[in-house]
């Protein structure tokens, strides 16, 4: 899948919404506490990050793995027609509330685009296109409509067709496939494992070793890859992989990624 342009973050067209709307707590990912609606101390007046090139060194690694799927520019430039929350404070609370909803919608659009781009899912293309059109229409809605969206219900319904698409794609891999869906595999030693066509949906792989593993056509939706060793692993064709998962993992020049994702600059 080639990454849809509207689902790629364009920070230059956003009013720094992820740096204001979202909360974070002091941890290994963030150097300080910040409440939702409070501008990060590193956010400049031009909506750029004042320490963007040194975020990891300054203790803000969490910022380097966040991906809004293009929701930031959609809310800034479309939903609120380019009205900056600084210039119109009366819009701020509504804008900050809409942003995470838009982000969820855009994430679902990413998964639908991935499923629809597969030849194996031809029998589902009408449903996938219909769901895509419905979500796209929602993203163009005014704030009051967006605030009334039942995101949990949408996720549950769309997950059904995403599961069907996953089964069709993974069926291309012959033989029995591993199913680790929802399993706790934190710190697991899976170097060189054959996980081709496996289900890793919602699997906890924090700090796990998947060095040199075969992850082709593997379902990765919701898998927690924080600190996962993906050096030399092959993720080509993997299902529902996202940039924020890859950014949170550890890899190297030998790691092979899906076409829609880019190699993180902090990888060796």
Which pLDDT belongs to residue 3?
84
Which pLDDT belongs to residue 268?
77
> In this structure, are residues 96 and 37 in contact, taking their beta carbons and an 8 Å threshold?
yes
Which pLDDT belongs to residue 90?
87
Kindly report the number of other CB atoms within 10 A of residue 9's CB atom. Answer: 18
Give all domains of the chain, ordered by start, each with its CATH number: 5-170 (no CATH), 174-268 (2.160.20.80)
Here the tokens at position 154 are 């949408």
Separation of alpha carbons 224 and 199, rounded Å? 13
Nearest to 79 by CA among 170, 15, 18: 15
Mean pLDDT per block of 10 residues along the chain (268 residues) reads 90 96 94 96 95 94 95 98 93 96 98 97 98 97 97 97 98 96 98 98 98 98 98 98 97 96 91
The length of the chain in residues reads 268
Separation of alpha carbons 55 and 7, rounded Å? 23
Predicted structure pTM score: 0.95
Here the tokens at position 42 are 């590193």
Q: Is the dihedral of CA 217, 241, 120, 259 positive or negative?
A: negative
Beta bridge partners of 194: 214
> In this structure, are residues 26 and 33 in contact, taking their beta carbons and an 8 Å threshold?
yes
Q: Using one digit for the tens of pLDDT, what is the confidence trace for 214-259?
A: 999 999 999 999 999 999 999 999 999 999 999 999 999 999 999 9
Separation of alpha carbons 26 and 85, rounded Å? 26
Beta bridge partners of 189: 209
Separation of alpha carbons 236 and 259, rounded Å? 7
Helices (H) and strands (E) in the chain, counts: 7, 0
């Amino acid at each position: 899948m080639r990454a849809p342009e509207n689902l790629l973050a364009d920070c230059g067209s956003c009013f720094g919404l992820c740096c204001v709307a979202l909360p974070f707590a002091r941890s290994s990912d963030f150097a300080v506490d910040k409440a939702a609606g409070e501008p990060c101390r590193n956010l400049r007046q031009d909506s750029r990050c004042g320490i963007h090139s040194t975020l990891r060194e300054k203790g803000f690694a969490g910022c380097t793995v966040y991906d809004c799927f293009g929701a930031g520019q959609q809310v800034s430039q479309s939903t609120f027609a380019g009205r900056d929350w600084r210039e119109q404070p009366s819009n701020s609370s509504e804008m900050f509330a809409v942003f995470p909803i838009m982000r969820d919608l855009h994430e679902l659009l990413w998964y639908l685009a991935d499923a629809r781009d597969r030849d194996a899912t031809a029998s589902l293309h009408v449903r996938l296109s219909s769901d895509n059109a419905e979500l796209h229409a929602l993203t163009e809605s005014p704030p009051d409509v967006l605030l009334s969206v039942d995101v949990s219900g949408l996720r549950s319904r769309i997950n059904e067709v995403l599961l069907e698409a996953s089964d069709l794609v993974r069926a291309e891999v012959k033989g029995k496939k591993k199913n680790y869906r929802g399993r706790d595999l934190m710190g697991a030693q899976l170097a060189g494992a054959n996980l081709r066509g496996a289900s890793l949906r919602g699997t906890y792989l924090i700090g796990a070793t998947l060095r040199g593993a075969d992850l082709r056509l593997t379902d990765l939706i919701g898998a927690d890859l924080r600190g996962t060793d993906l050096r030399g692993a092959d993720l080509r064709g993997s299902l529902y992989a996202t940039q924020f998962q890859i950014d949170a993992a550890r890899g190297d020049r030998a790691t092979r990624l899906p076409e829609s994702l880019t190699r993180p600059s902090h990888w060796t």
